[in-house]
């Protein structure tokens, strides 16, 4: 038994040595691939070799003034001579090797191009930080600086948010998620809030009537009509806000939440947004 072990030991050693050599070879190849420039930065813009030293090391003086001759490509023959029979036909005639087309279209062919998809047809992802009931800070638009409650994402990818209106005068409206900062404050059980099915992207589109033709006496008398919310929108606002306000009232820190939603967000001197925790 002892003799057999002794015989196996040198054989195993040879295999290990062979493996080590393969590994060493691979490591050496990787080092060659990576390479390290001869002239590298020692620090503070000081290089190992000067420009004059590198001039001699690279032997640039050998190549100064030398010009490699331009390789002349052999020209392909466009014509070939063809014998022509007959006394008055000249005997030979030049004929194109590559014949031209017999038919040329009168108009360019219309190429099919992929149609540009509209924003509404894109696949819209929602940031992980934005969840139903999350209190968000609006960064753009007429309600910028206000804190709003996120309800759901619409088909167009825009966020449906509300103030509520009684707290900070922000109605039900759509907003892009790039104009929103998600805070750590979340209202519980907002998934249970029943939002009417007709509240979608078309619900927020304004109906713009065509302008009537101006007459001689109507130049200064006509005025632009200001936007007025419809009765339907007012009813929907009350219905949605009623459910959210009931959730806030059941919260143990309801006073703090009401004052938090009612206050405006702003930065003062010494406040940096990248250092703040929302």
Domain range summary for the chain, segments of one domain joined by +: 125-206+229-275
Q: Give whole-number Cα distances, 35 to 25, 40, 141, 203, 259, in Å.
A: 15, 12, 55, 64, 63
Mean pLDDT of the chain: 84
Q: What is the mean pLDDT of residues 129-156?
A: 93
Q: What is the mean pLDDT of residues 131-157?
A: 93
Q: What is the mean pLDDT of residues 187-211?
A: 86
**Among 267, 245, 269, 270, residue whose Cα is nearest residue 258:** 245
pLDDT in tens, 53-89: 999 999 998 888 888 888 888 888 899 999 988 888 8
Comparing 228 with 30, the larger pLDDT belongs to: 228
Q: Specify the pLDDT at position 35.
A: 67
Q: What is the mean pLDDT of residues 93-118?
A: 83
Q: Specify the pLDDT at position 214.
A: 62
pLDDT at 223 over 80: no
pLDDT at 229 over 60: yes
Of 18-22, 54-58, 238-242, 247-251, least confident by mean pLDDT is 18-22
The helix (run of H) or strand (run of E) holding residue 51 is: helix 51-57
**Among 124, 143, 128, residue whose Cα is nearest residue 161:** 143
Helix, coil or strand: residue 195? coil
Q: Specify the pLDDT at position 5.
A: 46
Main-chain dihedrals φ then ψ at residue 220, nearest 5 degrees: -100, -15
**Among 75, 175, 85, 73, residue whose Cα is nearest residue 134:** 175
Q: Between helices 254-262 and 231-250, what is the axis angle to 10°? A: 140
**Among 254, 236, 235, 234, residue whose Cα is nearest residue 246:** 254
Q: Specify the pLDDT at position 216.
A: 56
Comparing 88 with 139, the larger pLDDT belongs to: 139
Are 67 and 75 in contact by the 8 Å Cβ rule? The answer is: no
Main-chain dihedrals φ then ψ at residue 229, nearest 5 degrees: -65, 145
pLDDT at 165 over 50: yes
Q: What is the mean pLDDT of residues 180-188?
A: 92
Rg (CA), the chain: 40
Q: Confidence class of residue 6 from pLDDT cuts 50, 70 and 90? A: very low
Q: Specify the pLDDT at position 217.
A: 55
> What is the length of the chain?
278
What share of the chain in percent tops pLDDT 70? 87
pLDDT at 238 over 50: yes
Q: Specify the pLDDT at position 136.
A: 95
Architecture of domain 125-206+229-275: Roll (2.30)
Are 170 and 262 in contact by the 8 Å Cβ rule? The answer is: no
Helix, coil or strand: residue 260? helix
- Rounded to whole angstroms, the Cα distance separating 193 from 67 reads 81
């Amino acid at each position: 038994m002892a003799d057999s072990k002794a015989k196996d030991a040198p054989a195993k050693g040879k295999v290990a040595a062979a493996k080590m050599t393969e590994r060493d070879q691979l490591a050496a190849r990787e080092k060659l691939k990576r390479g390290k420039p001869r002239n590298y930065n020692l620090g503070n813009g000081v290089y190992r070799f000067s420009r004059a030293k590198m001039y001699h090391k690279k032997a640039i003086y050998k190549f100064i003034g030398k010009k490699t001759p331009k390789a002349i490509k052999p020209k392909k023959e466009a014509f070939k001579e063809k014998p022509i029979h007959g006394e008055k036909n000249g005997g030979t005639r030049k004929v194109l090797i590559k014949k031209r087309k017999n038919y040329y279209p009168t108009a360019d062919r219309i190429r099919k191009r992929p149609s540009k998809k509209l924003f509404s047809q894109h696949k819209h992802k929602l940031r992980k930080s934005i969840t139903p009931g999350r209190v968000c800070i609006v960064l753009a638009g007429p309600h910028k600086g206000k804190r709003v409650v996120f309800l759901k994402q619409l088909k167009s990818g825009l966020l449906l948010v509300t103030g509520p209106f009684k707290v900070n005068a922000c109605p039900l409206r759509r907003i892009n998620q790039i104009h929103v900062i998600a805070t750590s404050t979340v209202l519980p059980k907002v998934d249970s809030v029943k939002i009417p099915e007709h509240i979608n992207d078309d619900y927020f589109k304004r109906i713009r009537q065509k302008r009537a033709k101006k007459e001689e006496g109507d130049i200064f008398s006509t005025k632009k009509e200001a936007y007025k919310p419809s009765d339907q929108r007012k009813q929907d606002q009350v219905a949605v806000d009623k459910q959210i306000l009931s959730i806030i009232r059941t919260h143990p820190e309801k006073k703090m939440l009401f004052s938090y939603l009612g206050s405006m967000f702003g930065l003062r001197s010494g406040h940096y947004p990248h250092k703040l925790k929302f």
